[in-house]
Amino acid sequence: MIGQILSREYYHNRLSEYLLCLAVLIGGFLAVKALQSLVSRRLAAWAEKTPTPFDNFLVERIRKTAIPLAYLGIAQASLRILNLTPRVERIIDMAGIVLLAFLAILFTVALVRFSFREYLRKQGEDASRDRALKGVVNLANALVWIIGVLFMLDNLGFRISTVVAGLGIGGIAVALAAQTVLGDLFAYFTILFDRPFEIGDFVIVGDHMGVIERFGIKTTRIASLGGEQIVISNKDLTDSRVRNYKRMARRRVVFRLGVTYQTPAKALQEIPGIVAGIFLEIEGAALDRVHFFSYGDFSLIFEIVYYVEGNDYTKYMDIQQAANLKIFEEFERRRIEFAYPTQTLYLNRDGKA
């Protein structure tokens, strides 16, 4: 009786073949599930012992890509037990190709994202650079999806040569029409990888100065000292001379002061020592030199050069203010007069020409 029931045919397959297909499908799924639980624990324990993050990425991709591939392989193998019509076999094959292409695209996209994040981590970048990288990641993801879909269509039997040729001709036309946009895009990659500045850096670009707020695929935005936002195209930015004060290791300061021509020679000789003693008392400043620089129109000019560690502008101004006050106090105590613009008129009292 049971043998007769199992021998009955439905759609060119015996009932026993359907049961065998179902048994292979369920048994394979259970085996993969058990293997997944066992292997996942061991792989996770192995990944925790290694210092590199690539193994963590690999374990995650095995869970999200390899396991679905195993399920797909078991489903394909179980269905091959049955005698299927060519049309049904074609549908199953197409479904397998679509799922396989989809998983491959997801894996490639994840690998691209992981590679960019690892690049930033090794470069010691912060969250602001990670946000700036989103444009590149999105562009790379779009390219991966386009290429993946084209390969999938090609494997499904569609003729994509005409489409690819059309895309090539259209791409040339778009490139010619959007040269400025492409120039800004390439400049964006230059900024991203060459790193002439970071978000938060104080820069001077031509006549503009301010703090870098963000930079995108086409433009960079700078918050000026006046409060307004300055938008500069990336190509204009990379073609300009950018002065980045955030990366200043120390600031070189040069200033001059003038004393009157009536100052005695002995006092002129003492001025370099006076200024040097003043800078010894100022913390954070390193004096380089003090020299009697030149004879001015109405003053004897001394040039003073010193260094301030770091790039803090407020610290520099505090040191400059302290130096000016101490120099003024010391010159006043020694009766050394500062010069200011003056004119001397000589009158001829005899009235002779």
CATH code of the domain containing 194:
2.30.30.60
Look up residue 251 and give its two tokens.
């600031």
Query: Mind listing the pLDDT tens digit of every residue in the chain (353 residues)?
Result: 565 665 666 666 666 776 777 787 788 778 777 776 666 666 666 656 666 666 666 767 777 777 777 777 777 777 777 776 777 677 777 777 777 777 777 777 777 777 777 766 665 555 455 555 666 666 666 776 677 676 666 666 666 666 555 555 555 555 554 567 777 777 877 777 778 888 888 888 888 888 988 877 788 889 988 888 888 888 888 888 888 888 888 899 999 999 999 999 999 999 999 999 999 999 989 999 999 999 998 899 999 999 998 888 889 999 999 999 999 999 999 999 998 887 667 776 665 55
- CATH code for the domain in which residue 284 is found: 3.30.70.100
Last residue of a domain, one of 161, 195, 212: 161
pLDDT above 90 coverage of the chain, percent: 21
Residue-level pLDDT at 6: 57
Tell whether 104 is covered by a domain.
yes
Residue-level pLDDT at 93: 72
**What is the domain count for the chain?**
3
Residues 157, 237 share a domain: no
Residues 15, 140 share a domain: yes
Residue-level pLDDT at 333: 92
Residues 326, 261 share a domain: yes
Tell whether 323 is covered by a domain.
yes
Residues 231, 136 share a domain: no
pLDDT above 70 coverage of the chain, percent: 67
CB burial of residue 102 (10 Å; 0-12, 13-18, 19+): middle
186-242 residue pLDDT tens: 787 777 777 888 888 888 888 888 898 887 778 888 998 888 888 888 888 888 888
Residues 200, 129 share a domain: no
Tell whether 351 is covered by a domain.
no
Tell whether 86 is covered by a domain.
yes
Residues 208, 92 share a domain: no
23-32 residue pLDDT tens: 877 887 787 7
d(CA 216, CA 191): 10
DSSP state of 338: B
Residues 150, 16 share a domain: yes
Which residues form the domain of 302?
Answer: 250-333
Which residues, including other chains, have CB under 8 Å from residue 138's CB and lie 6 or more apart?
none
Tell whether 98 is covered by a domain.
yes
Residue-level pLDDT at 86: 72
Tell whether 234 is covered by a domain.
yes
Residues 53, 147 share a domain: yes
Residue-level pLDDT at 53: 67
Choose among 75, 80, 68: nearest CA to 107.
68
3-state secondary structure of 247: coil
Residues 138, 72 share a domain: yes
Q: Which residue has the tokens 């000026």?
A: 224
Look up residue 279 and give its two tokens.
């800078």
Residues 201, 127 share a domain: no
Tell whether 319 is covered by a domain.
yes
| Long-range interactions of 108-111: CB distance < 8 A, separation 24+ | 108/144, 108/148, 109/140, 109/141, 109/144, 109/145, 110/57, 110/61, 110/64, 111/61
Last residue of a domain, one of 244, 273, 290: 244
Choose among 322, 311, 253, 256: nearest CA to 283.
322
Residues 308, 236 share a domain: no
3-state secondary structure of 30: helix
Residues 193, 89 share a domain: no
Tell whether 170 is covered by a domain.
no
Residue-level pLDDT at 77: 75
